[in-house]
Amino acid sequence: MSTEAKRGTGNETMNAPTGPKTERGFSARRMRKPAAAVLLVSALAFLFLVIGRSARVPSPTTAEALKGTISLSGAWALYPMAVRWAEEFRKAHPGVRIDIQAGGAGKGIADALSGMVDIGMVSRDLHPQETARGAFALAVTKDAVVPTISGRNPFLKDLLRRGVKKSEFEAIFITGRARSWNDVLANGAKADIHVFTRSDACGAAETWAAFFRKKQEDLLGIAVYGDPGLADAVIRDPLAVGYNNINFAYDPATLKPVNGLVVIPVDGNGNGCVDAEEDFFGGRNEIIAAIERGAYPSPPARELYFVTKGRPSRPVVRRFLAWILKEGQKFVREAGYIPLASDTIESRRTLIGNRVLERDS
């Protein structure tokens, strides 16, 4: 996605100050005023002119219009947040063009390390081999992956009442021992469970698998590309189960689950019912609050990263990252994400250099 506008010059035309004019017709008496008084008036006039001139001099930040292009690709989880950041950053820096493409965390890290983009959007922890190749990760926000079913699931009421235990999710997605809804609900239902997963190398699948201490390739199911694709597949199939990043599971307008999709409560304590302290899956604000207070496990809650090849060196990229870790954080919560802790933000800002941070302070 490209966000682009006309560049503003930010230049000001300044006129040199002129000295005080002498009027004709002064009386001889006034011309003979003491020299000290004349000098005092002249000094005051000069001082006022200097102060006025200084006030009109633009600051270096204003005078030096930031220009350039920044390219990002990667995680669907970060795509909505990255778009919002780009829009807000360009309000202050219209000379900067920002191109954003979603395609999964695997694409983001590969594009960043190959130099195809400035920043890879990554929704999982880096792998050791990626770090060895020079990947530099900067945590920018947090979110989570949530399990989903179709709103037309015939056992919806039972699932919302009792939730699904972690061990039952593992039997569905990892071992395959739960093949029918009866294996989960013990209600005599003969209907099979239709499991869906992601086809692209992505942080959502990696994070959901990490919930069971596994990797993406260990997940069972019919593979579908992308967050929107997986959500659509689950909505269309009444017997389906899948998972999504929270900003694709919940509607940004209503803050409720996407029409036709239901987020399954996770029975965290395994007692066979959804207790009051576990009942936070009905709306985006509720799940975000639960993540912040630690009521939803991590994983599938996780930090989201902007990744560069080595520490960022291009000034426009450094300024963008510095802005995200300061001004950009005020847009995080309203976009459906979780802000980083203040100490985390400061440590991350230090990583990209104090000089660039001072310019955006």
pTM: 0.77
Judged by DSSP in three states, 195 sits in strand
Section 127-140 average pLDDT: 95
**pLDDT at residue 340 in the model:** 87
> Using one digit for the tens of pLDDT, what is the confidence trace for 203-262?
999 999 999 999 999 999 999 999 999 999 999 999 999 999 999 999 999 999 999 999
List, in sequence order, the alpha helices (H) in the chain.
28-31, 35-56, 60-63, 79-92, 105-114, 128-132, 156-162, 166-170, 181-185, 203-210, 227-236, 246-249, 284-292, 315-324, 342-351, 354-359
Q: What is the signed CA dihedral for 246, 251, 256, 262, rounded to 10 degrees?
A: -60
Residue 40 pLDDT grade (very low, low, confident, very high; cuts 50, 70, 90): very low
Nearest in space to 345 (alpha carbons), one of 276, 336, 360, 334? 360
Section 5-23 average pLDDT: 35
> Using one digit for the tens of pLDDT, what is the confidence trace for 157-177?
999 999 999 999 999 999 999
Residue 64 pLDDT grade (very low, low, confident, very high; cuts 50, 70, 90): low
List the domains of the chain with CATH numbers: 65-143+303-359 (3.40.190.10), 144-301 (3.40.190.10)
Tokens of 147: 């399990």
Least trusted range by pLDDT, from 7-21, 176-190, 193-207: 7-21
Does residue 120 surpass a pLDDT of 60? Answer: yes
Q: Taking a C-beta distance cutoff of 8 angstroms, is the pair 209, 165 a contact?
A: no
Vertex 196, ends 194 and 197: CA angle to 5°? Answer: 155
The residues facing 74 across adjacent strands are 102, 121
Does residue 355 surpass a pLDDT of 80? Answer: no
Residues 6+ apart with CB under 8 A from 332: 81, 141, 338, 339
Does residue 44 surpass a pLDDT of 60? Answer: no
Region of residue 330 (left: phi > 0; alpha: psi -120 to 50; beta: else) = alpha
**pLDDT at residue 336 in the model:** 94
Does residue 61 surpass a pLDDT of 60? Answer: no
